[in-house]
Amino acid sequence: MTEPQSALLLRKQLAELNKNPVEGFSAGLIDDNDIYKWEVLIIGPPDTLYEGGFFKAHLYFPREYPLRPPKMKFITEIWHPNIDKSGDVCISILHEPGDDKWGYEKASERWLPVHTVETILISVISMLADPNDESPANVDAAVSTFLTDIYLYIL
């Protein structure tokens, strides 16, 4: 039986990351027998509240990848406006492709099949450094981030 195209693409991306690691994260399979479930370790970006931290997360790819986005969930507890209290990541590029029915996001900001594991994780690291508190998945974290920003501004 031949492997689905999505599995072949994911194997290629995994091999590329192993051959040419990217600074800020490492990635591998949760189970060597399931190409659709990945474990990643993200290093907290410098000059952020997360600096020096190591954060484990899982990526779950649909069989329709790259036409549909994966889901990402932090396993390590993390306090961030764009990560809900159960660890699910809410970032535009992981939202289903097409127009946003609420008109908040442009189609170009949402999932596109050109995204790879590398571009996803770079976007998540960027999100850690620069949260979008206009569309929080964790309102409490967004409020505390806002108050911290005000406090630092006053200082």
Determine the pLDDT at residue 152: 43
Strands (E), 33-155: 37-43, 54-60, 71-74
Determine the pLDDT at residue 89: 96
Q: Dihedrals φ, ψ of 102, to 5°?
A: -95, -5
| Among candidate residues 61, 45, 58, the one with its CA nearest the CA of residue 116 | 61
Determine the pLDDT at residue 150: 43
Judge whether 15 and 66 are in contact, CB under 8 Å.
Answer: no
Determine the pLDDT at residue 137: 75
| Among candidate residues 49, 53, 38, 3, the one with its CA nearest the CA of residue 121 | 38
**Active-site residue among 90, 125, 137, 142?**
90
Judge whether 95 and 110 are in contact, CB under 8 Å.
Answer: yes
What are the tokens at 43? Answer: 């290093």
pTM of the shown model: 0.87
Judge whether 91 and 73 are in contact, CB under 8 Å.
Answer: no
Q: What is the four-CA torsion angle of 85, 91, 97, 102, rounded to 10 degrees?
A: 80
| Among candidate residues 122, 43, 105, the one with its CA nearest the CA of residue 76 | 43
| Dihedral sign (CA 11, 13, 17, 19) | positive
* pLDDT in 10s for each residue of the chain, 155 residues: 578 999 999 999 999 999 999 999 999 999 999 999 999 999 999 999 899 999 999 999 999 999 999 999 999 999 988 999 999 999 999 999 998 887 788 899 999 999 999 999 999 999 999 987 777 777 777 766 544 444 444 55
* Annotated catalytic residue 90: yes
Q: Which residues contact 51 (CB under 8 A, 6 or more apart)?
A: 44, 45
